[in-house]
Amino acid sequence: MSLEPASSGIETIGPARFLNRELSWLDFNERVLALAEDESQPLLERAKFLAIFSTNLDEFFQVRVAGLKDQLAAGLPATARDGMSPLDQLRTIRQRVVEHLERLSKVFLTSVAPALADAGIRLSDWESLDDDDREYLVDVFDRRIFPVLTPLAVDPGHPFPHISDLSLNLAVIVHDTQLGERRFARVKVPQLLSRFVVMPDGERFVALEQVIAAHLGRLFPGMVTECHFPFRVTRNADLTLDEEEADDLVAAVEMELRRRRRGRAVRLEIDTNMSDEVRDLLLRELQLSPSDVFVVDGPIDLGGLWSVYELERPELKDEPWVPTTQPRLSFDDDTPVDVFAVLRENDVLVHHPYDSFATSVETFIKRAAADPDVLAIKQTLYRTSGDSPIVKSLIRAAERGKQVVVLVEVKARFDEQANITWAKALEDAGVHVVYGVLGLKTHSKTALVVRQEDDGVRRYAHIGTGNYNSKTARLYEDVGLLSANADLGADLTDLFNFLTGYSRQSTYRKLLVAPFGLRNRVLELIREQTALGPAGRIVLKMNGLDDQPVIDALYEASAAGVAVDLVLRSICCLRPGVPGLSETIRVRSIVGRYLEHSRIFSFGTGTARRWYIGSADLRGRNLDRRIEVVAPVEQPALQERLAEIVDANLADGTLAWTLDADGVWHRPAGGGSGAHEVLHDAAVRRARPRHD
């Protein structure tokens, strides 16, 4: 079937057909910023969204802007599918980011900070403190801050120091009155100390850089401090790993992590008071241009507001949600459930954070580790928490003599060092640790338990959309399938053999695996609906969509009259609602309390409707450069659960944003319950029988 657009009047590539990926991501972060601006949100939740917006933007510059700058420096002529060159994109990104930073400063300075003060949480500056407050901070400085500081001078004997990635610093001009000379010095604000110093009343905070600035005389005795200005540098933080040349992948990643700290600077953040003299000096030494400077009105790095959010002020936060346990997985008279017996009866679908991660996935691995009949456990780990119960269970399983194999993805961006640490701990415990397939990231979320039973060896599986991370499982929305299906178990056995050994396995019984056929199967499923015309139906929920073949196929489905709904958290390069191209495609994004992270695909209607869940977004990187696993959900009761999730997203009139044909996101005037509230209520109803 042809993938040419239905109308010859629509170009095959360019802005009329595709939205820019980087600008689409900025649209997503703008939706996060809008939550901080929303006065109906609890106050500390608004502060949290300011922190999320800021840390999101950091990563965007570290990776996406850095990549565009690399393309520009290399003289690559390639343009994005929407027709924008790297230079065009960088110019537009700057314009958009400047606008966003103005909104960020405004909402913090004129709304959130005053509201925090009214609630007794005051972000105080040094000048506003009384003598007792300053005496307290002098003591804090002497005991906790001063011993950590290292002032670095810049003069003929001291070259300009390296400014590490995302570090907050003070640029200081001192005057040596004896020599009659002015000198520049840099003081790094220690990253391991809290961004804000908490006053004894527990309700007032003073920015750490202000405490340091008030004591510069201690750092430069005998000198006159003329001026000081905070600044922050962002560097290229993407790994450039040549796996084919690496004899030891872990050692190669560790080497690249050391190089990352010295990556090329891509952004300089300064406040509104910095002098032209100091700004020009920093630009010259960091080899940046004026277009790389971003002026912040207010505190630099509002990611530090996470420390404010952690205050014990429940009345200023969302009402706590305690994840429920499905009746089939709940205890019976304080006796732990036999999870294997449950799965032999029927599969279980879990939906986090509504369903408890601890009493489902963690219990599945914990029971496997303790069960004397379990012979082996095999699992992939992409990101996990620092005190991971799952990792502890895997270690205990190995200590009990079980065959334990774990694929730790040491190339998971910004979690590389943590994953290397976990990998070494697992190896020390006797776990067989492997690091993936050459040239690919292993992004799949899979676990396999092999158990000896009366009728022979049986395999149990978990296939999910989210990481095996107990902390993010309380914040990220994800689904997972627990199953004793023989075909799924056999497929996972083949997959792990491919991941750990030598294999050219590319076909599976039920699983769809990237990069070996997932895209082709998704295209087939879309084309099946296209052939049905207006009777066809496609619903895709995921984090992002940018794969050109998939987008082209969806355009063709729309031209045939197929109703298409896309629920995308962040990036969308498809342009919906364009006459002759995408009239029947609707795109929406749910942004709210939980980070929408699940990938749920639906094709068809009624009893013929097919459902899939898995780790893959329909993006080029997922389909071509990662090991991804998508599994069918075939039992009707579980399909109803997925329909409940999708329907709640499509009916949301509170949290949802919709994308117009002109590429602009807006909130529809709908009202009603948000998806998170609806799904909370559904989880409570399901769990209620266990209390009766």
How would you classify the pairing of strands 441-442 and 585-590?
A: unpaired
Q: Per the omega criterion (within 30 degrees of 0), is the bond before 515 cis?
A: yes
Handedness of CA 393, 395, 400, 403 (dihedral sign): positive
Q: Per the omega criterion (within 30 degrees of 0), is the bond before 5 cis?
A: no
**Residue 30 near residue 100 (C-beta atoms within 8 A):** yes
Long-range contacts formed by 326-333: CB under 8 A, 24+ apart: 326/350, 326/355, 326/360, 326/686, 326/687, 327/686, 327/687, 327/689, 327/690, 329/359, 329/360, 329/363, 330/359, 330/687, 330/690
Give the span between the Cα atoms of 108 and 103, in whole angstroms.
8
Across 512-533, b (16+ Cβ under 10 Å) vs e yields bbbbbbbbeebbebbbbbbebe
**Residue 230 near residue 168 (C-beta atoms within 8 A):** yes
**Residue 495 near residue 508 (C-beta atoms within 8 A):** yes
**Residue 576 near residue 586 (C-beta atoms within 8 A):** yes
Three-class HEC string of 609-666? CEEEEECCCECHHHHHCEEEEEEECCCHHHHHHHHHHHHHHHHCCCCEEEECCCCCEE
* Side-by-side strand order, sheet with 122-124: 122-124, 204-207, 196-198
DSSP letter assigned to residue 214: T
**Residue 614 near residue 510 (C-beta atoms within 8 A):** no
User: In the annotation, is 443 catalytic?
Assistant: yes
Q: Helix, strand, or coil here: 482?
A: strand
Active-site option among 228, 351, 352, 443: 443
DSSP letter assigned to residue 353: T
Closest of 119, 118, 137, 115 to residue 128, by C-alpha:
137
**Residue 672 near residue 691 (C-beta atoms within 8 A):** no
Burial class (CB in 10 A: 0-12, 13-18, 19+), 30: middle
Instruction: Kindly write down the DSSP assignment for every residue of 566-583, as one continuous string.
Output: EEESS-B-B--S-TTTTT
Give the span between the Cα atoms of 431 and 433, in whole angstroms.
6
**Residue 471 near residue 621 (C-beta atoms within 8 A):** no
Q: What are phi and psi of 413, to 5 degrees?
A: -55, 130
**Residue 459 near residue 493 (C-beta atoms within 8 A):** yes
DSSP letter assigned to residue 592: S
Catalytic residue numbers?
A: 443
